[in-house]
Amino acid sequence: MATGGVVDPNASLRLPADVAVKRGLLDEPLQRLLLQPDDNSKGFFDPNTRERLSYLQLTQLVQQYKSSALTQKITEILTAIIAEVSSEEKKLDGLSKQISVGHLLAEVSSEEKNLQGEVTVDNGNKMESVHKYLGATNCIAGVRVESTKKVMSIYKAKSRGLLPPGTSLILLEAQTATGFLIAVEKAVAQRVVGSELKEKLLSAQLAVSGYTDPDTKETISLFQALNKELIVKDHGIRLLEAQIATGGIIDPLYSHRVPVQVAYQRGYFDQEMKRILSDPDDDTKGFFDPNTQEYLTYLQLLERCITDPTTGLSLLPLRK
């Protein structure tokens, strides 16, 4: 715990203490004991003072020994340990709740792990390498009417008769299921979307926040809900494909995206679904191109979008 979290041997990564408790890797009495150690749980010996300390207490010794005979390398290692422990307490905005910086760093690939020194609460959300785990890196955010170059939201385009109601609903569901449109209740209250879509979008939001397993009452992912037939198959595949197309599968427990390999380990994806999405047929093409009247995958529709020069967002051009 002092060096970054409890190790999950099955997933081969570290977990914050509260998550470890949920997974049965730690229980609350032991967690309390480790957070407030007594003499029986202080298992490390300081050869200078002959005191028994917790591992975390031993690492505060860095400041004391910076001017002594400790090598620079050991000092750097101990300083890094303390910095990582401290980062567990810092929070970033996840897709549906806050997550600790330390946990996020434990989850991401080795490329992102090298950025530990750069990730802070202030700039974490702005870093592209971290943002791709916390949001939709590329989502169809709106439309552009090509005859006038006017940009507008999906819902406004629907209200003005520029998009069919069914097409607009599916695009808004994709926005919600990929974490682009996070607060459905707020969006309805501010009239960003109409109240008639509220229930549909709240249902799509479960692809981010998680579904409730009717048997165990545990939170499960979109893919797991699809396998348990809690959602209609073509609807679930459509939302899952949109998640993958916009940056990766969303882990509802940790409120961020995960690499495909981690998704396999956690049961959020499998080879059969990968095969279905890698070779889409008409049954898995759930998005309509109003310009060509074709049904496409979300990725294919994204490739036909244009990038807004001001915001960098993807816009669906309306040519007719």
Residue 254 burial (CB count, 10 A) = 22
Domain closes at, from 27, 57, 88? 88
Tell me, what CATH number does 198's domain have?
A: 3.90.1290.10
Same domain, residue pair 154 and 170? yes
How far apart CA 253 and CA 251 sit, in angstroms, is 6
Same domain, residue pair 152 and 128? no
Per-residue confidence (pLDDT) for residue 122, from 0 to 100: 46
Amino acid sitting at position 65:
Y
Per-residue confidence (pLDDT) for residue 315, from 0 to 100: 95
Q: How many domains does the chain have?
A: 3
Domain closes at, from 106, 134, 162? 134
Per-residue confidence (pLDDT) for residue 316, from 0 to 100: 95
130 near 286, Cβ under 8 Å?
Answer: no
Q: Virtual CA dihedral for 234, 208, 268, 167, nearest 10 degrees?
A: 20
99 near 90, Cβ under 8 Å?
Answer: no
Give the Å distances, CA to CA, from 108 to 131, 223, 260: 11, 21, 11
Give the Å distances, CA to CA, from 94 to 25, 119, 224, 256: 23, 14, 21, 6
Widest Cα–Cα separation across the chain: 81
Per-residue confidence (pLDDT) for residue 306, from 0 to 100: 94
Question: 143: which residues sit within 8 A by CB, 6+ positions away?
Answer: 151, 152, 153, 154, 157, 162, 163, 315, 316, 317, 318
Same domain, residue pair 277 and 153? yes
Per-residue confidence (pLDDT) for residue 125, from 0 to 100: 44
Same domain, residue pair 45 and 109? no
- Which region, left, alpha or beta, applies to residue 141 given φ > 0 means left and ψ of -120 to 50 means alpha? alpha
Range of the domain at 112: 90-134
Same domain, residue pair 115 and 257? no
Same domain, residue pair 206 and 314? yes
Per-residue confidence (pLDDT) for residue 165, from 0 to 100: 92
Same domain, residue pair 180 and 105? no
The tens place of each residue's pLDDT in the chain, 320 residues long, gives 777 788 888 777 788 887 888 888 888 888 877 777 676 667 776 666 667 777 777 667 554 554 454 455 555 555 555 555 554 465 655 555 666 555 565 555 444 444 444 444 444 444 455 555 665 567 899 999 999 999 999 999 999 999 999 999 999 999 999 888 778 888 888 888 888 999 999 999 999 889 998 888 888 988 899 888 999 988 998 999 898 888 888 888 777 787 777 788 778 888 888 888 777 776 678 899 999 999 999 999 999 999 998 888 899 999 87
Same domain, residue pair 78 and 167? no
How far apart CA 239 and CA 217 sit, in angstroms, is 22
- Which region, left, alpha or beta, applies to residue 121 given φ > 0 means left and ψ of -120 to 50 means alpha? alpha
Same domain, residue pair 51 and 36? yes
Same domain, residue pair 42 and 30? yes
How far apart CA 98 and CA 29 sit, in angstroms, is 25
Per-residue confidence (pLDDT) for residue 60, from 0 to 100: 72
Same domain, residue pair 75 and 161? no
DSSP H or E run through 130: helix 128-134
Say what the pTM is: 0.64
Same domain, residue pair 190 and 304? yes
